[in-house]
Amino acid sequence: MTLGRALGYAATMRRQGQPDWRLLLLLYWITSFVEGYGVAQVYAFLPNRLQEVGMSTPDIERFVGLLGALFFLTGLPLIPLWGVWADKYSRKAVIIRSALVEVGVFAVVAASREPWQLVIGVMLVAFQLGNTGVMMAAIRDVTPSRRLGLAMGIFAASSPLGFGAGPALGAVMIEVLHMTSGSVFAVAAIMSAAVALMLAVGSSEVRPEVVPQGSVLRLAFGAVRGVLSDRIVRWLFVIYGIVFLGRQMSTQYLTLLVHDVEHTPLGAAWSVGLVLGVATIVGAALSPIGGWIADRVGFRTVMVVSMGGLALSFAGLPLAPTAAWMAVAYALAVAFQATIGAMISGLLATEVPAERRSATLNLVFLPLYLGGIVGPALGSTVVGTGLRSVFYLAALVLAGGLVVAIVFVRRKWSAAAEPSIGALEGRAEPAD
C-alpha cells in the first residue's frame, strides 16, 4: 500500500468514526507487550523474590505452582463481566483498568517483605486480566478483512515478546546492575503506569457492532451460554484449554528446570534470562509467519501443524542437556503457541455471527483461567515425583490436544468450508 493510499484510508476510517487499525494495533501491541513483560518477571523471578523474603528452597518448589493456580482461581468469576462492561460501557476504560491494576501488582510484589505480602500482590493479578479479548475484539472491528490474519498474528506476538523481554532485561538488571528482584518489579510498575497514560491520551473508543442491552449479570450469563451453545466455539475452546493446561502446568517450573540443568543457585539469572528471555523473543518474532501462512492455506491447517510442533517442543525441554538447548526448544514452543492463539482468534473472528462475536472474543481466555487453575495445581502434585516429570506430562497433554485438533478439522460442519477472509461482511477495505 502506498503512503497516499494509507493516508486516504486513515482519513476514511476517521470519517466513519473508526480509528486507523494500524495505530490501534500499535497501541494495543505495546499494551500487551508491557503486560507480558511484567507477568513474565513474576514467573521468572518469583523464586528469587520468595528467597529474598526468607522462604526455603523446598517450600518454594511447592509454593510457586499453588500460587500460580490461586490468582487464576480468584479471577475466574470476573471473566464474563469484563467483556460485558467493555461492550456495554467502554472498551477503552476496561483496558486502561488493566494497566492500572498492573501498577498495583508489581508495586506490591516489589515492596513485599514477607511471603504473605507476595501472595496478596500476586492475587491482585486476578483483577488485572480480562483485557486481551477486549483488545482483540476492537482490532477485529476496525481491521480490513484481508488483513485480519496478519493483524491477529502481529498482536499474538506482542505478549510472547514481552514474556521474553521481561526475563532477559531482568537478568541484566540483577546480574550486571546488581539490582534486587524487588527493584526489577518496581521498574515494571513504572512501565505499566506509562502504558495507562499512553492509552488514556492516544487510544480511541471502539464500540462493538452490536451494543448489548440489559443488566450486566444477564448479559454475562448470556455470553457464557452463547459460547457453550456453539459447537465450533466449544471445540476451539477445548483445544485452547488443552494448550493452556499443558503450558500452565509447567511454566512455573521452567526457572527451576533451568537451574537444575545448569546446576546454578536460584539467585543466578543469566541462564533464566536466556531461556525465558532471549528464546521467548526469538519464538515470538517467528510467530507472525503463521498468520501470513494462514491467510493463504487456512487457519485450521496451521493450527493443527502448530499443535504438533508445540507437543514436540515441550517434550524436548526436559531432555535438553544445557540451557542453550532448552532455549531452542522453548523458542519453538513460544512460536507454535502464539500461532495457535492467532489461529483460534482468527477462526472465532470469522465464524462467529456478528451479534455474538465480541462477547465470544472477550471470553477467548476462559480456557486460560481453567488451565491456569488445574495446570499449576496438577504440576505441584506431579513435581513430587521429579521436576522433569512435570514437562513430560505437559507434552503428553499437548499431544492429546493435537488429536482433538485433528478430529475438529476432519469433522463435517454445517458450513461447507472455512469462509474466505476477504469475503466477510460489513466493512470497506483499503485498496492494496
In DSSP notation, 260-329 reads HHHT--TT--HHHIIIIIIHHHHHHHHTHHHHHHHHHH-HHHHHHHHHHHHHHHHHHTTT-SSHHHHHHH
Kindly state whether residue 114 falls inside one of the protein's structural domains.
yes
Q: What is the pLDDT of residue 61?
A: 67
- Assigned C-alpha cell, 336: 507454535
3-state SS of 150-170 is HHHHHHHHHHHHHHHHHHHHH
Q: What is the pLDDT of residue 53?
A: 79
| Position 110, amino acid | A
- Under DSSP, is residue 203 helix (H, G, I), strand (E, B) or coil? coil
- Under DSSP, is residue 180 helix (H, G, I), strand (E, B) or coil? coil
Kindly state whether residue 426 falls inside one of the protein's structural domains.
no
- Assigned C-alpha cell, 380: 505441584
Query: Whole-angstrom Cα distance, residue 174 to residue 179?
Result: 5
Q: What is the pLDDT of residue 9?
A: 43
CA angle 32, 221, 356 (to 5 degrees): 65
57 within 8 A of 266, measured Cβ to Cβ:
yes
CA angle 73, 77, 81 (to 5 degrees): 140
pLDDT tens digits, one per residue of 311-362: 999 999 999 998 888 888 988 998 898 889 888 877 887 777 766 666 676 6
Kindly state whether residue 422 falls inside one of the protein's structural domains.
no
Kindly state whether residue 6 falls inside one of the protein's structural domains.
no
CB neighbours (10 Å) of residue 414?
6
Q: Residue 207, class by beta-carbon neighbours within 10 Å (0-12 exposed, 13-18 middle, 19+ buried)?
A: middle
Kindly state whether residue 328 falls inside one of the protein's structural domains.
yes
Q: What is the pLDDT of residue 120?
A: 83
Q: What is the pLDDT of residue 93?
A: 93
Kindly state whether residue 8 falls inside one of the protein's structural domains.
no
Q: Which domain holds residue 250?
A: 13-207+224-415
- Assigned C-alpha cell, 320: 535438553
What residue has cell string 523458542? 331
| Position 37, amino acid | Y
CATH of the domain at 333: 1.20.1250.20
Kindly state whether residue 185 falls inside one of the protein's structural domains.
yes
CB neighbours (10 Å) of residue 257?
21
The enclosing H or E element of 404 equals: helix 387-410
Question: In total, how many domains does the chain have?
Answer: 1
pLDDT in tens, the chain (432 residues): 443 444 344 444 443 556 788 899 999 999 999 999 988 888 778 777 888 877 776 677 667 767 766 767 777 777 778 878 888 889 999 999 999 999 999 999 888 888 888 888 877 877 887 788 889 888 888 888 777 777 877 887 788 788 878 888 888 888 888 888 888 999 999 999 999 999 999 988 988 877 778 888 888 787 778 777 788 888 988 999 999 999 888 877 888 888 888 887 766 667 777 777 777 788 877 877 887 888 788 888 999 999 999 999 999 999 999 888 888 898 899 889 888 988 887 788 777 776 666 667 667 777 877 887 788 778 878 887 888 899 999 999 999 999 999 999 888 665 434 443 333 333 333 333
Q: Computed from CA positions of residues 231, 235, 238, 243, in that sequence, does the dihedral angle turn out positive or negative?
A: negative
317 within 8 A of 333, measured Cβ to Cβ:
yes
| Position 268, amino acid | A
Q: What is the pLDDT of residue 357?
A: 66
- Assigned C-alpha cell, 115: 511471603
Kindly state whether residue 2 falls inside one of the protein's structural domains.
no
pLDDT tens digits, one per residue of 183-220: 899 999 999 999 999 999 998 898 887 777 888 888 87
